[in-house]
Amino acid sequence: DYWLSLLYKRLIGPKVLAIHVAGLQRKPRPGRVIRDKLRIYAHCTSYHNHNYVRGSITLYIINLHRSRKKIKLAGTLRDKIVHQYLLQPYGKDGLHSKSVQLNGQPLAMVDDGTLPELKPRPLRAGRTLVIPP
């Protein structure tokens, strides 16, 4: 939770944006409740983050499925470079792991008072985003 909270504080601005996700609308079957297992949120990127220009958008996506999901950005986002901050458990224990990795690199404090650099992975414009479970 710490690393997620840190990224959230650095990236997420106060303005929430409306998004439309095509392909998630399904018809419920009798006796079955459909819960959305792919959650996508959009905010203006924090204006306190000097790495991004005003007007930048931060998406955060939670994939609760058991398999990876692919997302294709559309509209004005289609032609934009994406900076991916992919947080996942580190090690064999999966969700029970005590360590977290960012874009495949384990996260740890440099020393008692120094945070590691949280580097994004740049993805070319138009690339399909692959979101692991």
The domain ranges of the chain are: 1-132
CA atoms within 13 A on the CB side of 67: 2
Q: Are 63 and 69 in contact (CB under 8 A)?
A: yes
pLDDT for residue 33: 52
For 19-46, the pLDDT digits (tens) are 887 775 555 566 555 567 888 999 999 9
Q: Give CA separation, 102 vs 48, 73, 75, in Å.
A: 22, 22, 28
pLDDT for residue 66: 87
pLDDT for residue 25: 53
Report the SS3 class of residue 83.
strand
pLDDT for residue 31: 58
Distance (Å, whole) CA 44 – CA 57:
5
pLDDT for residue 116: 93
Low-confidence residues of the chain, pLDDT below 70? 24-35
Residue 93 carries which side chain, given as an amino acid letter? D
From the list 48, 45, 72, 78, the residue with the least C-alpha distance to 59 is: 45
